[in-house]
Amino acid sequence: MGKTLAEKILSQKSGSNAQAGNIVVAEVDLVFAQDTTGPLTIRQFQTSRFEHLANPNKTALFLDHAAPSPNYILSSEHMLLRHFAQQTGCIIFDVGDGICHQLVAESLAKPGDIIVGADSHTVTAGGLGAFATGMGSSDIAIAFGLGKTWFRVPESIKVVVTGNFPEGVYAKDLILHLIGSIGANGATYKALEFSGDTVDSMTMSQRFTIANMAVEAGAKVGLFPADNITKDYLMLQERGNHYQSVFPDADATYEQTININVAELEPTVSKPHTVDNIALAIELKGTKIQQVFIGTCTNGRLEDLAIAATILEGKKRHSETRLIIAPASRQVLLAAIKAGYIQSLIEAGAVILPPGCGACLGLHQGVLGDGESCLSTANRNFKGRMGNPQAFIYLGSPATAAATAITGEITDPREVV
Amino acid sequence: MLTGRAFKFGDDISTDHITPGRLAHLRSDPPELAKHVMEDADPTFASRVTPGDFIVAGANFGLGSSREHAPLVIKIVGVSAILAKSVARIFFRNAINLGLPVLICDTDKINDGDKLEVDLAAGTVNDITNGNRLTFSQIPEVMLHILDEGGLIPYIQKYGDFKL
* SS (HEC) of chain B: CEEEEEEECCCCCEHHHHCCHHHHHHCCCHHHHHCCCCCCCCCCHHHHCCCCCEEECCCCECECCCCCHHHHHHHHCCCCEEEECCECHHHHHHHHHCCCCEEECCHHHCCCCCEEEEECCCCEEEECCCCCEEECCCCCHHHHHHHHCCCHHHHHHHHCCCCC
Q: Is the pLDDT confidence value at B164 over 90?
A: no
The whole-angstrom separation of Cα A115 and Cα A121 is 11
* Contact list, A51 vs chain B (CB under 8 Å): none
* Contact list, A180 vs chain B (CB under 8 Å): none
Structure confidence at residue A227 (pLDDT): 98
Q: Which residue range(s) make up the domain with B132?
A: 2-159
On whether residue B149 sits in a domain, the answer given is: yes
A165: which residues sit within 8 A by CB, 6+ positions away?
Answer: A174, A198, A262, A263, A265
Cis peptide, bond prior to residue B140, ω within 30 of zero? no
Instruction: Tell me which of A385, A386, A395 to substitute to probe the interface with B (most B C-beta atoms closer than 10 Å).
Output: A385
* Contact list, A187 vs chain B (CB under 8 Å): none
Residue ranges of A 383-412 with Cβ closer than 8 A to chain B: 383-385, 387-389
Structural domain total, chain B: 1
Structure confidence at residue A77 (pLDDT): 97
Please tell me the class of the A5-261 domain: alpha beta
Domain with CATH 3.30.499.10 in chain A: 5-261, 269-415
The CATH number of whichever domain residue B103 belongs to comes to: 3.20.19.10
On whether residue B20 sits in a domain, the answer given is: yes
On whether residue B107 sits in a domain, the answer given is: yes
Q: How many CA atoms lie within 13 A of B42 on its CB side?
A: 14
On whether residue B164 sits in a domain, the answer given is: no
Q: Is A228 helix (H, G, I), strand (E, B) or coil?
A: helix
- Write the residue in A39, A135, A383 that is nearest to B90 by C-beta: A135
Q: pLDDT tens digits for B13-58?
A: 999 999 999 999 999 999 999 999 999 999 999 999 999 999 999 9
Structure confidence at residue A166 (pLDDT): 98
C-alpha triplet B30, B32, B38: angle, nearest 5°: 85
Q: Are B126 and B133 in contact (CB under 8 A)?
A: yes
Q: How many CB pairs below 8 A link A and B?
A: 146
Q: Is A115 helix (H, G, I), strand (E, B) or coil?
A: strand
Structure confidence at residue A5 (pLDDT): 98
Structure confidence at residue B105 (pLDDT): 96
* Contact list, A142 vs chain B (CB under 8 Å): 152-153, 156
Q: pLDDT tens digits for A127-170?
A: 999 999 999 999 999 999 999 999 999 999 999 999 999 999 99
Q: How many residues does chain B have?
A: 164
Q: How far is B82 from chain A (nearest CA, A)?
A: 18
0.90 surpassed by complex ipTM: yes
Residue ranges of A 195-224 with Cβ closer than 8 A to chain B: 218, 220
Chain B within 8 Å of A66 (Cβ-Cβ)? yes
Identify the segments of chain A with pLDDT beneath 50: none
Give exposure, A83-109, as e/b (b: 16+ Cβ within 10 Å). Answer: ebbeebebbbbbbebbbbbbbbbbbbb
On whether residue B91 sits in a domain, the answer given is: yes
Structure confidence at residue B3 (pLDDT): 97
* Contact list, A388 vs chain B (CB under 8 Å): 22
List the beta strands (DSSP E) in A9-104.
Answer: 23-27, 30-34, 59-62, 91-93
Q: pLDDT tens digits for B60-89?
A: 999 999 999 999 999 999 999 999 999 999
CATH code of the region A269-415 = 3.30.499.10
On whether residue B105 sits in a domain, the answer given is: yes
Cross-chain Cβ contact B66/A136 below 8 Å: yes
Which residues face A294 on adjacent strands?
Answer: A325
What is the model's pTM?
A: 0.97
Q: Is the pLDDT confidence value at B138 over 90?
A: no
